[in-house]
Structure formats: C-alpha cells, structure tokens
A and B are shown apart, each in its own frame.
Chain A
C-alpha cells in the first residue's frame, strides 16, 4: 500500500471534468484499489459520483491511497493529475 497527500490547485475544486479525468485514468489500473480521503469523506477514485459528492475544494488536502497491482504507478498518475491541476 502506498499513500501520498496532495493539495488541490484547481480553482473550482474537483468538479465534473477533473473527476471524470481521474476516473478515466484510474480505470487503466483495474487490479488496484485507489481511494481519496479528504477530511471526513472517502471516495473510490473510480466512482465519479462519490468523488463529486466529496465536494473537494481548492486548497484542501487529499490523501491518495493505492493498493494492488502497479500501485506505485497508479498513485503517481493520480498525484500527477492533482498536482498539474488536471490540465486547467
């Protein structure tokens, strides 16, 4: 299991588009469980509604956890997306 905590840089938080991008990328790691923890809320990185329902805002800290096959690669990819502001 690997984890990393990042800070959300997207001005509008993790809205529909970033959530969608994250899900699309994480589905490329079918045998790895990736979860996001933000405050009280946790969401599977492959569940678009859960991610949106977590209401992750700009500036909040998100703990990403990956467990399973290719866990380091999955974590790196997720962290990269967050850190680059999902290309926004």
Chain B
C-alpha cells in the first residue's frame, strides 16, 4: 500500500481503479511482420472490440442525449465497416509487410487528409471522425498485444492538472474521483468535482503520477486529502465503512428536499444552483434548487471548434429554460479570456491576463460575437423565466453600452418578426472592487446584482487564485471582501433591486448567517451544496 496526501476539495470517498489521463497522441511504431494473415486477424479483432465499444457508447448516448445526438456513433460504426477504409488497411499490411497499428495509422492519415482537403468546412471537420475511429482501433490493437486488462467502467482520473476544455471532453459518467498533481482549490478540476458531487484531491505532487499505473486499485478520501494506492484489507474495510456512513448522511440531507429555505425566525432566502452546461440540469433538479443563479455560457464556446451559431446557442438556452419550467434561469454572457482560453478567438498572450482582455471587454469590442449571443438569449426568452447577467463590470459606461446593444438586438428581432419576452431581467456581476464601490450608481441601471466572490476576492486581495504558493495568504473571509458585499447589498436594496451571491463563498456555511443578516436575497451554489446550505439556513436564528 502507498499513501499520498493532497488537499481534498469535495468531501466524499471513492474506491475504484486508477486511470491516468494522458495528453500525448497515441504513438505508433512501424515494425516488419512475417505473417500477413495473423496481422489481418488482429485488425479484425480490434475492430470487433471497437464496434462493441461504439455500440455501448451509442446505447448510452441514446438514453442520455437522444437519438439525433447519438447517431454519430452509429455512423462511426459504419465507418469501421467501410470497404475502402478496410481495403486500404489490408493492402498496406500485404504490400508493405508492416504491423496492423502502422497500417491503420497510415490509412487514418490518408482518409483524414482526403476530408481535410475538401472545400467544405463541415467535411473538413470529418477528418476528426476518421482519426477518432482509427485511434480506437489502434488503442484496441495495442492493449491486446500488451496483454493489459484495459480499465473500463468507473475510474479515478489522475492527471497533472486539467484545462477547462479537457474537463469538458471527459466522459463524466465514468469519473469516480479526480486526483491532480497540481492545481489549487479554485482550479477548474476542483470546481467540476464539486459540481458533480464527487471527491477530488489536488496538489498531490508529481511523484504520485510517476508511481501509479492504470488499473491499480485506489481509495480517494476527499475529506482528509488522502489517497491510498493498492490498499491493504484493513484500510479498505475502514474506508468502505466511511463511504457508507457518508452516503447515509447525504441521503438524510436529501430528505430536506421540498422544504422551504427559511430560518427559525422566519427569514427567507432563495437557493439557486450554478451550472456549466446543459448536462448539469439533472443535478439541479435532483438537489431541488429554486432556479439557476449562474449558467456559465462558456461551455458553448469551449466545446466548439468555431464560434457557436445563433441557432446552436438558441437550442441550448431553450433547453435549459424549458427544463426549469418557469423557474428563474440566469445566464451569464461569454466569460472567456484569462484562465479560460478558446483557440479560435485568437487572443494574444498577455502579461497579466486576469487584468486583461476578457469577458465583457471582449464582448463590447467584438460586438458581432456579443450580438449573436444576445439574439439567441432573447429568442430563447419566450421559453421560460430568463435573466441575463454580464461579467467583469467596472463602470457605468459599460452598462450603458450593454443596454444599448440589448436595445439594438431587440429592435432587430422585432423587425424580423422574431418573438422575445419583455420580462427579461438584466443584471451585472459584482466581481471587481470598482463595481462594488460604485454599486450605488449601478443599481438604478439594472434589475439585479450577483456577487462573484472568486474574482472579487482575487481582485480585492491582489491574489492569483490559481497560484498554489499563495493559498496561505488567501483569506477567503477577508473583511474587505465582506464589506464590499455588504456595500453592494445595501445599494441594491436602497434602489429596490435584489442581490445574489454566485461565487464559491455562497456555499460556505460558516458565512450563511452573515449573508442572511446582510439581506442577501439569493445564494447560488453548486448543485451538490443546495441542500447543505438549506440545512444551514433552517438551523439559523436571526432573532438574537
């Protein structure tokens, strides 16, 4: 048994097999073979496994995302059976007397190039599908030659750190826990783990990654930050017991479902959920959130290889609004730049990205992108109860410009005969000290405020939240931050507007009473924290 220690970011226990997240491309070596028939049989076998895998993925996708989206895997199966593709593999093996891996890789390159050279952007993108199925075959060829039993089913994902675009691509259904060598508790891996209610441990150090192997049994204790690799019987039993007790406790918490968010003395507060994609709606409903207080629209941009169209965005927004059936849904406009990068935006490298060209600053200078998003949002507004929220506000003139673009978009839609709701609430994030300090000037211009505590803390304390060297300096309960929140709350209420908190602090139950006393109207937290915060509210008494 080997024990490692890091920092736990979500309290839960996971027991399962390790899967090391690899970033490198599959490397294929060319070797000379003697037995052509044996090599062809290996291809056949790898194709059979690939076909079975694709068929499983198809079935799963069918259940989860519907037939239209699942069809791609059915077509991948057809591509596996494509005559030209298979003839090419066979003939390379026969004529060049090379190994199956190399023949598949070469065929993959040729077919991918054929698609890439077509004059149609859609067809060019199909080269990725060719590579996808080919890599699957190569993977299955390699694992049978190495004789390793491939990790399947649910896994503990171990990586150095994961970028937002990488976390988006993970098959989240099969992730039991995250363990990363680097990262801080505010990193995206940590946020994702909290969103998914699975344990995560960060900052374990690089030795860990060098020691472990795919398929090894491990226990992840998100409460203590301990990881046990190849645990002994005694540890395994103790941790199984801890896991069972934790599940029991979480089940009890579920009994709070359907109960009001009201303190002992009768003060009420709304508890909403933060989500980062349409996939998370299930978790929102399961945990009984009163609405969505922060829907991060970035996933639409991160998942795409080009700017998402108005129609693509409309489909996603409509789906969220309809799923929430009239409950409030607050969608935040594009918030990229700084630590969230998207290739096709072609943003320059900056000396100081956190203080750089990001979020609303991109939207207000590249209004084509901004207007596409706003058009999609307004068109979706007829399907539910929408609020639009703008990130990184620092001045009155920014809000004036935003409102002018919104009016322009509405006028265009009206002219084109496209419907939108007149009841869309417009709000701003209070995540810069500037916005909090001039919240008296901003409040009359908007319908609501939402405090983004992660950025507000980083900008107020001048501390980089991704820098793990600074964790010791970062006082998340710093009086300066709390005073700024109080200031924004007072100014919102003086103007008859409401204020919510959507950053990580909203879920910090040691602050719940203080937030209630400030008169915060809404707390928006990761879905897994909704009931925990509700329990805290229901046990709070403000009467003394």
Contact = CB atoms under 8 A, between A and B. Distances in A.
Contact of A13 (B74, B79, B120, B130): B120
B82 A53 contact: no
Contacts of B83: 44, 46-47
Interface in B415-444: none
Given A13-B120, A55-B119, A55-B120, A49 B82 contact: yes
Nearest to B114: A53
Majority SS at the chain B contact face: helix
Interface in A7-44: 12-13, 15-17, 19-20, 23-24, 44
B84 A47 contact: yes
A61 interface: no
B102 to A, nearest CB: 20
Contact of B85 (A15, A23, A49, A57): A49
A20 B123 contact: no
B365 to A, nearest CB: 32
Contact of A16 (B111, B118, B129): B129
B75 A50 contact: no
B129 A47 contact: no
B85 A16 contact: no
Given A12-B122, A15-B122, A53-B118, A20 B82 contact: no
A17 B75 contact: yes
A62 interface: no
Contacts of A12: 122
Given A16-B72, A17-B71, A20-B74, A49 B118 contact: no
A52 interface: yes
Nearest to A43: B84
Interface in A43-74: 44, 46-50, 52-53, 55, 57
A20 B114 contact: no
Which residue among A16, A20, A46 has the maximum number of chain B CB atoms within 10 Å of its CB?
A16
A55 to B, nearest CB: 5
Contacts, number: 48
Contact of B115 (A48, A52, A57): A52
A57 B75 contact: no
A2 B81 CA distance: 26
B84 A49 contact: yes
Nearest to B126: A52
Contacts of A57: 120
Given A16-B72, A53-B114, A48 B122 contact: no
From B78, B115, B118, B126, name the one whose CB has the most chain A CB atoms within 10 angstroms: B78
B253 to A, nearest CB: 43
A24 B120 contact: no
Most buried by A among B82, B85, B122, B130: B82
A53 B82 CA distance: 12
In this complex, the interface size class of chain B, counting residues with CB under 8 Å from chain A, is 20 to 34
Nearest to A44: B83
Nearest to A12: B122
A45 B78 CA distance: 12
A47 B111 CA distance: 13
B126 A24 contact: no
A85 B84 CA distance: 26
A46 B123 CA distance: 18
A20 B71 contact: yes
Contacts of A44: 83
A52 B111 CA distance: 11
Nearest to A49: B82
A16 B84 CA distance: 17
Contact of A55 (B78, B111, B118): B118
A47 B126 CA distance: 15
A10 B118 CA distance: 19
A47 B78 CA distance: 8
A48 B123 contact: no
Given A16-B126, A16-B129, A17-B71, A49 B111 contact: yes
Which of B71, B74, B79, B129 has the largest number of chain A CB atoms within 10 A? B79
A20 B75 contact: yes
Contacts of B126: 16, 52
A17 B74 CA distance: 9
Contact of B123 (A17, A23, A24, A52): A52
B78 A20 contact: yes
A8 B245 CA distance: 61
B79 A48 contact: yes
Contact of A53 (B72, B78, B115, B122): B115
B119 A49 contact: no
Contacts of B114: 53
A55 B114 CA distance: 11
Interface in B462-518: none
A24 B130 CA distance: 19
A50 B123 contact: no
Contacts of B74: 20, 24
A46 B78 CA distance: 9
Contacts of B79: 48-49
Given A24-B74, A49-B85, 10 more contacts: A12-B122, A15-B122, A16-B75, A16-B126, A17-B71, A17-B75, A19-B75, A49-B111, A50-B82, A52-B115
16 contacts: A12-B122, A13-B122, A15-B122, A16-B72, A17-B71, A19-B75, A20-B74, A46-B83, A48-B75, A49-B84, A49-B85, A49-B130, A50-B82, A52-B123, A53-B114, A53-B123
Interface of A: 12-13, 15-17, 19-20, 23-24, 44, 46-50, 52-53, 55, 57
Interface of B: 71-72, 74-75, 78-79, 82-85, 111, 114-115, 118-120, 122-123, 126, 129-130
Nearest 9 interchain pairs by C-beta: A20-B75, A48-B78, A49-B82, A16-B75, A23-B78, A55-B118, A47-B83, A48-B82, A47-B82
